[in-house]
Amino acid sequence: MSKSTKKKSAAREWGDALIFAVVAASLIRWLLLEPFTIPTASMEKSLLVGDFLFVSKMHYGTRVPMTPLQVPLTHQKIWGTEIPSYSDAIKLPYYRLPGFSDVERNDVVVFNYPVEFQYPTDLKTNYIKRAVGISGDVVQVKNGDLFVNDKPAMQPEEMQYSYDVVTNRPLTEDFFNQYEINPESHFTLKDGLYVVFATDEVIKRLESSPVVTSTTKRIMKSNNGESEITFLDGATLGWNRDNYGPLQVPAEGWTIEMTSDNVMRYGFTIEKYEGLDKVEVKEGQLFIDGQKVDSYTFKQNYYFMMGDNRHDSLDSRYWGFVPEDHIVGKAWFLWLSLDKHESMFSKIRWSRIFSGIN
């Protein structure tokens, strides 16, 4: 004798479907792919403001959530509110599932912004940059040119610098549009003198214009004083964005002598990212649990990240290394690109849809 089954109401069916969709989307977002939007110009022209892309969690291995108690499909806040979307009552240690590869030099990587200490590691704001230096590399910038392990680094095809552009008449927005220079990529110092963020190719095209009289790359000299980078712990080494290093990127198992110079270079990293309870830097010396340390062995790998828009990027030159446990995934491909300066269907950059990221 068969038992009769009670038919689900329409509301119940919709509720079950919604729960299934949320669970499925959460699993895909955690295990496989996560959508990401380019919010700033730090990677132009390689990646543009308004690019929508997928980040692969599979390439480097999916990171197990360190803050498991959070509202599904949120990050930091509940949508449209200032209410935290998570609880840090439970914290799990860092663990990553096996992936296809390690972070390779020049990969475009999404990671958690390291110095956002008000949030748990896996809920810090997502940033995207190029991993120009991997664990063990020696990174140096000389007169604006990047060197890795004493060799000229790979230059992305769409890499930008800032230039002084001198003209024989004032320029209009229509003029800049002809060279695909958007309003955020130029500003006026005075009539006839402009600062332009552009690729080498665009600068060559500008130089062929009869209204442009000269272009000069804006390179900061070394030991300029005013242009020096002050690190987050207050240390200064006489470096700036265009003359920086040499600086070796820490690797798991690398042991260094804690000289006063190394304390300036690595003390902040050891204090903030190595999982130690009590670290102090006093008078050029490193103390762990109240004991002076003469040498230190790093517990994880680190990476040096830079934006392809070299003169308009807040990156490792300013806030330091990215720890391995902050890596989210590899930027994989674009699925949509919208130009906020256009309207209607002109907003869509059709040529960029479903293009890979190099």
pLDDT in tens, 98-135: 999 999 999 999 999 999 999 999 999 999 999 999 99
Nearest to 248 by CA among 161, 133, 328: 133
The full set of domains in the chain, from first to last, is 32-137+308-358 (2.10.109.10), 160-217 (3.30.70)
β-strand partners of 34 = 55
d(CA 337, CA 318): 29
d(CA 84, CA 82): 6
Whether 250 and 234 have beta carbons less than 8 Å apart is answered as no
Query: In the structure encoding, which two tokens stand for residue 353, read together?
Result: 């849809």
Other C-beta atoms lying within 10 Å of the C-beta of residue 237: 15
Query: In the structure encoding, which two tokens stand for residue 37, read together?
Result: 């939007």
The 10s digit of each residue's pLDDT in 61-83 is 999 999 999 998 889 999 889 99
Q: Per-residue confidence of the chain (358 residues) as pLDDT tens digits? A: 445 556 678 777 777 677 767 776 667 777 778 999 999 999 999 999 999 999 999 999 999 999 999 998 889 999 889 999 999 999 999 999 999 999 999 999 999 999 999 999 999 999 999 999 999 999 999 999 999 999 999 999 999 999 999 999 999 999 999 999 999 999 999 889 999 999 999 999 999 999 999 999 999 987 655 567 877 777 788 899 999 999 999 999 999 999 999 999 999 999 999 999 999 998 889 999 999 999 999 999 999 999 999 999 999 999 999 999 999 999 999 999 999 888 878 899 999 999 999 9
Name the residue type at position 170: P
Other C-beta atoms lying within 10 Å of the C-beta of residue 268: 21
Q: What is the DSSP letter of 116?
A: -
d(CA 138, CA 251): 11
Residues 6 or more apart whose CB falls under 8 angstroms from that of 204 comprise none
Residues 6 or more apart whose CB falls under 8 angstroms from that of 154 comprise 105, 106
d(CA 164, CA 187): 10
Cα-Cα-Cα-Cα torsion 31, 37, 41, 43, nearest 10 degrees, comes to 30
Nearest to 75 by CA among 31, 17, 26: 26
